Structure 1
Amino acid sequence: MATVEYKNIGKSFGAFTIMRDISFLIEDHQFVVLLGPSGCGKTTLLRMTAGLETVTAGDLMIGGRRVNDVHPRDRDIAMVFQNYALYPTMKVYENIAFSLEVAKLPPAEIKKRVERAAEILNLTPYLQRYPKELSGGQRQRVAMGRAMVREAAVFLFDEPLSNLDAKLRAHMRTEIRQLHNRLKTTTIYVTHDQIEAMTMADKIVVMRAGKIEQIGTPDDVYDRPASKYVADFIGSSAINFLTGVVVSDNGAPAVDTKAGKVRISTSHAVEPGRRVVIGMRPTDVTVDEAGGIAARSLLIERMGHDAQLCCDGPEGQFLAIVDKSARFAEGQEVRFAIAPEKVHVFDAETENRL
């Protein structure tokens, strides 16, 4: 097992720098997710960890050893790729065993490791099948088995579920997390899917344009987003934003917006007159005739256990999660309330949390 530490990591392609001063520590046994949109640098950082990209600045440490110039095969890592990269002419057993055969392990040891991995991943009945005879989820488990048998100190996953359908992705999320709980191998997992990050990670590293926006537990990044960007990226349904100015509302701090006045918690300690952006998650706003926020209903999206009310607000779409029995006419004015402590406040200029 091993820690992974990034010390002022930078990456350049010629004169173009795409990443600079990336620094954080992944503890032994942790499951850490690198989260962000395409082009934010998460896969590049993973590939540098694997040794598939060179580190152009800083120090990359695995298990306390600097590995900037260490060959990938000597880093004690195993990687699962987005495309399964299975050998089509080899059966499942041979695919899983291949790296061990290359390493010239004794046949008895290879057999032991392959059978153990197959048992953990529920692949035992499929060991004599070819990849073309497997489903997408089974192929992904074969790719995971190939990584497992190497008994590496660090597992790297590069968007491994992006080729699967929604139901299978949910199933594989559970399988990967359960596998981690059993093996307790330090794991770095790259994804653009915030649901994968929220459900699987011990710690999330939210990235944007080659920089780190926030590092924290899933609860940290959801409940206390460090910036408007993080608040917008994390959470489903999408968070609502309103722009306004801080005022006093009968002695209590509030933000005066085009949709109405919204009280905020005194913990934000923002002075009157400051221009801010407030964020309100749809699950936190409630329909209330006396509420301070006004919008006009557009439609209700039924989601089974509840419904999402889509409204037209003064700054665009405004969402609220409501009871599935609720009925609203198109164009009807709807008023909403929210507890002050549930309102996220960001500076209008920097977009950082206040």
Structure 2
Amino acid sequence: MPSCAAQAASRPQSGFTTFRFPCKKWISLVNVMTTVQYYPESVLSQQVKTLLLQAGAQEKDAEATTCALLHASRIGVDSHGVRLIGHYLRLLGTGGINPRPSTTFKRTGPATGQLNADGGLAHPAAYRAMNEAILLAREAGIGAVGVHHSSHFGAAGAYVLEAARQGMIGLIMSNSDATVSLFGGAKPFHGTNPIAMAAPVKNSDPWLMDIATSSIPFNRVKLYRSLGLPLPVGVAADSSGLSTQDAMAASFLQPLGGEGFGFKGAALAGLVTVLAGALTGAELDPVMTGTDEEQNFLKRQNVGHFAIAIDPEKFIGSVAYDLAMRKYLDLLRNSPSADGQHPVMAPGDREWQEARRRAVNGIPVDAETRRILGL
């Protein structure tokens, strides 16, 4: 079971509080709205878990899913946070997601294993895969677990942080149905295929990378739609394959790197497809049951994840690793910035800053999500 102990401080009052913030580029997209409504994390956590249980999810699955969604909302990744609750509730209601899966794990070698998620919520399956990989790594120094018959697992960073919490380096990736073109392609081929890694840092927040191999995740397009904002250049295409900044016209995404360097993102997406798809027994991206089919025709997806845990003690030793990480991050953060005003940041620094801000100010929730949550 994941650790969700890092909870934001609750406000003394119930309901919401309204705030206004300057529109800086590092602030979550939700904050560009003139007025947003913020809620304590404890309120959102309770509502999300209650709704999942009412939809038929098992207690442990509801808890893990809530933990993963609140992780994303806590650090400012609102596209993958509590706003996804409606999506999961619909799938639980229609059978697109199995509300009571019989998840099974099989150890296949000294450092490897396979997990069958049985069509259930992906969040508990991903947490379990990472924890099984951690157990393998304690023996072998490295552990790798493939997951099949899973579904959309939200923000990948939630699961690698579980490894970092236990002193391990964690790496996870997931394939998904085709929503991203190949470099120069005119139709979707790969999924957004996220990759996340966390590395523990002694007496500090972990180093955290969590990226999609697409230009942006499609949930970001949906967020732009709800906010009435134009998309950045070179991130999405319309149904004819032409680049568009109109979020309403966006039909699929372009690979990371944009129109000039998208071959890099397309290759990374292929890496994820090989490890999380071909290696695990999941469906390959171009032929996977699509999200629309899953929602409208009661077809379950067979999404694959690939989790890796690495024990620093089995390599250079924990003491030497801690010293190396501290030296690396000191060198990085003291590197001169291009404008001389804004310090350079390590992966995760911006997210931990946002988490501290939201621990005080609460988490922003859009109107549609508030309606679903009953707030």
TM-score by length of 1: 0.21
More helix by share: 2
Higher relative contact order (CA 8 A, sep 6+): 2
- Normalising by structure 2, report the TM-score: 0.20
Question: Quick check: which one's strand share is greater?
Answer: 1
Q: Which has the larger radius of gyration?
A: 1
